[in-house]
Amino acid sequence: MKIVLNRLKTLEIVEQEPLIPDIPDGSVRVEVLCCAVCRTDAKMWEQGHRDLILPRIPGHEMVVRDTDGNRFMVWPGTNCTTCSYCRQGLENLCEKMKIIGFHHDGGFASHVVVPSRNLIPLSAGLDNHTACFGEPVGCIINAFEKIEYKKKSRLLIYGGGTMGLAAALYAKSIGLQPLVIEKRESKIHHVRAFLDAAGICCEKDTLDNEFDLIINACPDVIAFCQAVSKVARAGWICFFSGIAKNETIDTNLVNLIHYKEAKLAGAYGMTRTHMEKAIPFITSHQSYLKLLIQDIVPPHRLPALMPKVLSGSNLKYILDFTLAFRDSSIEISHQAPVQPMGIDTAAGCFTVD
């Protein structure tokens, strides 16, 4: 089966197995076990894009299996390998970058053709659903490589969605003190189980200032402006999420970057290596990451999910192609985390009491 974006807001489910396509040299046809739904997919569905040619099968956060039964994550980039960026190991910045699920057909299908070099073997202890976090966590690892920090650095993250929370979890694992700001009270409530298990503090706002590191994990321009005003002198801002288009930013605010000698680092996507680096973290934090899964659903439920994904009020939806002929979603096995990570007072809330 495959789920095809034929035109804006129209995903068509094609049940029959497609004919086996011509497979280019260096590529392989693999079975898709599951594929997470990303906000990017929902934006393609709603708005299209200048470079998006329809019809297209979306999906870039996938876990696949080859004919020998080996399981893999798929790095979703296809880079030229020869431009100056590729030669520097910055293949996410390749001049000719093409993305699987955007420029090429992706993982919203029972099978996908991908370059063999994009396959990243999964460790035996990592389950298929949690392994869908490979791409988002790879992006997070790229972001943390773009900034400098010390143990106990005070980190502020704007946005309590899947990315912001997974970034906070990763930050804790490397010894930082994250505080997440999420303006929607209902969303904080929605992610309470994750916050409690991971010992992460999430507030609607903070009066505190002088954060060593700030990451924007939401497209809100106000969050970006607050990041500039709340960063410490000589601190780092990681420009992780693009911000809403056609907004204006006050130059008085931009000047703060100058006066504070703040450092601004863009982070965009990730390389194959970042995705490989994600595997040990995902494997050791599976029980927490599972709490960021909203639902695991049979693929034919995808069209109805798109408005929910777009709303940003839910966590990660995962399409499970092994459920293709079932109606219901499956129970997520939320084994209790081995041990809650706990909020040590120094690492927890540093908002004003």
Shortest spacing between CB 52 and Zn ion, in angstroms:
15
Indicate the residue among 132 and 147 with the shorter CB distance to Zn ion.
Answer: 132
Contact characters 16-45, Zn ion, x per CB under 5 A: ----------------------x-------
> Which residues does residue 120 pair with via DSSP β-bridges, in sequence order?
73
Contact characters 287-316, Zn ion, x per CB under 5 A: ------------------------------
Contact characters 191-210, Zn ion, x per CB under 5 A: --------------------
Contact characters 65-84, Zn ion, x per CB under 5 A: --------------xx--x-
* CA gap 283, 244 in Å, rounded: 33
Indicate the residue among 236 and 240 with the shorter CB distance to Zn ion.
Answer: 240
- DSSP SS3 for 297: strand
Shortest spacing between CB 37 and Zn ion, in angstroms:
9
H-state helical runs in the chain: 39-47, 84-87, 128-131, 134-145, 162-173, 185-190, 192-198, 221-230, 251-259, 272-284, 286-289, 302-311
Indicate the residue among 171 and 309 with the shorter CB distance to Zn ion.
Answer: 309
* CA gap 296, 22 in Å, rounded: 31
Which residue from 5, 37, 63, 86 is in contact with Zn ion, where contact means CB under 5 A? 86
Shortest spacing between CB 95 and Zn ion, in angstroms:
5
Supply the DSSP string of 75-140, one letter for each residue: --EE--S-SHHHHTT-GGG-TT-EEBTTTB--SSBSEEEEEGGGEEEPPTT--HHHHTTHHHHHHH
Indicate the residue among 44 and 179 with the shorter CB distance to Zn ion.
Answer: 44
Q: Which stretch binds Zn ion (CB under 5 A): 93-101, 147-155, 159-167, 317-325?
A: 93-101
- 345's tokens: 């007072």
How many residues touch Zn ion under the rule CB under 5 A: the total is: 6
Length of the chain: 353
**Interface with Zn ion includes 156 (CB under 5 A)?**
no
* CA gap 166, 258 in Å, rounded: 30
Q: Which residues bind Zn ion (CB under 5 A)?
A: 38, 79-80, 83, 86, 94
